[in-house]
Amino acid sequence: MPFHCHKNLLFSMLFALISTAGFAKTTVTALKCEYQINPVGIGVVQPRLSWQIAATENNFVQQAYEIRVAETPGNFSGTGKLLWGTGKVNSSGSVNIPYGGPAAKPMQRVWWQVRIWDANNKATAWSESAYWEMGLLTGGDWKASWIRFGGEKDNLVSRPAHYFRKEFSLSKKVKSARVYVTALGLYELHINGKKVGNDLFTPGWTSYKNRIQYQTYDVTSMLSAKNAIGAIVGDGWYRGNIGFKGQRSYYGDKSALLAQLEVKYTDGSRETIATDTNWKATTGPILESDIYNGELYDARLELNGWDQTGFADSKWEGATVYDFTKSTLIAPQGVPVQAIHEIKPVKLIKTPKGESVLDMGQNMVGVVRLKVAGNSGDKVVVKFAEVLDKAGNFYTDNLRAAKCTDTYILKGGGEEVYQPLFTFHGFRFVKLEGLTSEPTLDQITGVVIHSAMTPTGSFACSDSLINQLQHNIQWGQKGNFVDVPTDCPQRDERLGWTGDAQVFSMTAAFNFDVAAFYTKWMKDFTADQLKSGRVPHVIPDVLNGGGGATAWADASIIVPWTVYQVYGDKRILAEQYNSMKAWVEYMHIRAGDKNLWMGDEHFGDWLAFASNSSSYPGATTEKDLIATAYYAHSSKLLSQIATILGKTEDATFYANLSAAVKKAFIDEFVTKNGRVVSHTQTGYSLALAFDLLPENLKKSSAEYLAADVKKMGHLTSGFVGTPLVCQTLTSIGRDDLAFMLLKRTKYPSWLYPVTQGATTIWERWDGQKPDGSFQDVGMNSFNHYAYGAIGEWLYKHVAGIDIDPQHPGYKHILMSPHPGGDLTKASAELNSVYGMIKSSWKLDKSHFVYDVTIPVNATATITLPHAELSKVMVNQLPLYGSKNFKSEQVKDATTVELGSGSYQFSYDSDLFLPQK
């Protein structure tokens, strides 16, 4: 070959190598299916696929993608057969792309890969293979029978947990094995002496009369030639105490187990081991298990080796088949509850009453693992409290009827370790009764339990009290997101109150990935919603249909809307649309032709600040005003949702309805001078935030709001108004007042509980009064996240991370930091569906430094406060005149359009200095 040919070939190869090497740094990562990594046992027949992109270059936007799906990873190579492929799709979409191939069969696993193209039309390598696996899709897929323990005695307040077992042999080499399992009650599954999976409180809490989840576990590695499978079943939400006034067995009075083990052998044959009359059943050491009251465990009754082969079960009864439907069985769509981490007590307290109390240092939710030694029959009683009283004594009056007590009876013979199985408690302080010596710090461990949501957000600033507030918000969310978003985790309630979740939904989505969590919960809205469209107060409903309260029932619209905004999830809007529409139509009927929702019972601005003191007058906002405001707001949201879903007739109808309700609101509740009836912070915040005022009155109403806040010097709002007050004040240009409210440390305020040592958000502004006494024992939770909704404002406004409503899911980010309140720095991070977003600012007198990170395949508009374009530096170079950035002077701010990457802006402005 002539030299010049060698030379040309060499240059071609070198050029190709350089080009490929440069692009090889761009990879497709973090493949997810229905918000999960490699999910096993899903029930969505057209699951959605998402991915993120790792790229070293800035301003990277995906130009096209291709997905391919196959039955095995080997089919991706050569001429392997594909189940489905998109071909090259010109789109920057990388979130929630629906699978469009043939529906996967029950128990089938399919594999998928994706590759993308850049702006130069260069493709990445195919991603690593990921998969999803279907569960059992219909009742007909179940070969197992429901079984129960037939020897149960009736008329017990709390019944012993039931134990089930079966031994079986496998004669061939196992290729794979899955177990599908659920219960009426709560279960824990065991195979060959080991617990299956890490989940707790399975099958989870749903509207059991309509939907019962089952779980799927890959147990291939747990099996051998000879095997034992078993389960423990407790009362749980299904037939334990739930609701008020000692209500038990709301869903049914019989617990049961359903399990189906599917074994696939290497020779292609299959075998099924399923619950039937060949299983054995009995009771054991768990004599009582109740979510409210705790657990009674007698270690002398332990069944050592019950879940292993060779156990003598001749005294066990044959299981009884229970005739119960399988048509309501569904695969989970949420995230499981798990033991997330552990904490140790920080000190031992001797109370004035002489009791020894262990302080965990954190109001937490979960259980205590106890280490103890003693004689057979000795009894140790573990009691829980959130707070100590004014005198420093153990305080449990606010737990109401909930006993919140775990009792352990020792078997004797050395150190014993006990951890309850089917209960949880909300507590900071632990009292051990029955010990023969003083308790020690290493005697207990706090096991923190909540839904295994992925943490996504963080916020921090220069004020340590605000940082503690953020800590309290996140711990309040963890403690109350235990399969459903509950109001509180400690007393005889722990229900899915819709209003609390509604006002907190956006804050929740900053702190954790709640897409799957809310998707699961919203299905129970549909299940429990009445035919009239009325939405129960709590979901799942255990209050026998009571509902229809404004701001509470509106969670049926606002929570799916939040999921759409945060995750770009249109499917939740489509699947919840009929429910949303039914709720608006319920309001439509209740309001009548006058378009005013008047006279019905509502919770109103729940727990709004009130006092008999002349120094702190209370504030009561008319419930009719709140109801009509939410009627207008939800109708407007429904119109927007209808537009997104292509329902043009509905979009027009509900837009017109919302406009009509707005007019009625103005005529009924707003004077000609812009004064809103009730004249409260909540009233004005609703009117302004929901756009219920005519243009010519917005300014005067804003002035009324500002004047009231300035006059009072504190919040006067409750659950409904509080999330809106700071947002509304900043929208009318009164950051000074919003920061004043944020930084106030006296009662009532967000920081008052912090100064009192709170480690979670309180239910009431004055749960513990300045004199150390407590509020009404009938309703005084010290772990109640609703007032933590201020977190949304901290992330969005102070740190400056917000959603562009035209590009949901943070596809385009609006970043606008707001220094104020004498803060010298603030930062937030949010791991979005596209990747990590960072916003961090520092202020040194007049010098402002702002660091931002935009994830790959997303863009952002940055608004720099008090910034003169000609003085702004970006990455230490002048912004003005730069061809790399599109920037603009807008009044006293500078806006910059950014692509992916990390950037630092810096400049000086005298407007940051205190103004005279």
Active site residues: 493, 763
Tell me the longest C-alpha to C-alpha distance in the chain: 101
Q: What angle do CA 767, 773, 777 make, to 5 degrees?
A: 55
CB distance 43 to 134 below 8 Å: yes
Residue identified by tokens 């409750």 is 718
What is the distance between the terminal CA atoms of the chain, rounded to a whole angstrom?
A: 83
Torsion sign (Cα): 467, 473, 477, 480: positive
Strands 212-213 and 329-330: parallel
- In a 13 Å sphere around the CA of 128, the CA atoms on its Cβ side amount to 9
Q: How far apart are CA 531 and CA 90, in angstroms?
A: 44
Burial class (CB in 10 A: 0-12, 13-18, 19+), 479: buried
CA 420 to chain centre: 24
Answer yes or no: are the C-beta atoms of 839 and 800 closer than 8 Å: yes
Alpha helices by DSSP H, 645-749: 648-669, 681-689, 695-712, 722-731, 735-743
Name the DSSP class of 123. B
Q: What is the DSSP string of 239-260?
A: HSB-SSTT-B-SS-S--EEEEE
78: left (phi over 0), alpha (psi -120 to 50) or beta: left
Angle in degrees, 0-180, between the axes of helices 681-689 and 722-731, rounded to the nearest 10: 60
Sign of CA dihedral 112, 116, 121, 123: negative
Ordered DSSP codes for 811-850: TEEEE-----TT--EEEEEEEETTEEEEEEEEEETTEEEE
- Give the DSSP letter of residue 870: G
> At what angle are helices 695-712 and 722-731 packed, to 10 degrees?
120
For residue 110, the surrounding DSSP H or E stretch is strand 109-117
Amino acid (one-letter) located at 900:
S
Asked, as a colleague might, if the bond just before 47 is cis with ω within 30 of 0, I would say: no
> Closest by alpha carbon to 763, among 392, 549, 544, 499?
499
CA–CA gap between residue 894 and residue 877 (Å, rounded): 16
67 beta partners: 114
Tell me if 635 sits within 8 A of 663, measured CB to CB: no
499 touches 187 (CB < 8 A)? no
Token representation of residue 492:
């005889």
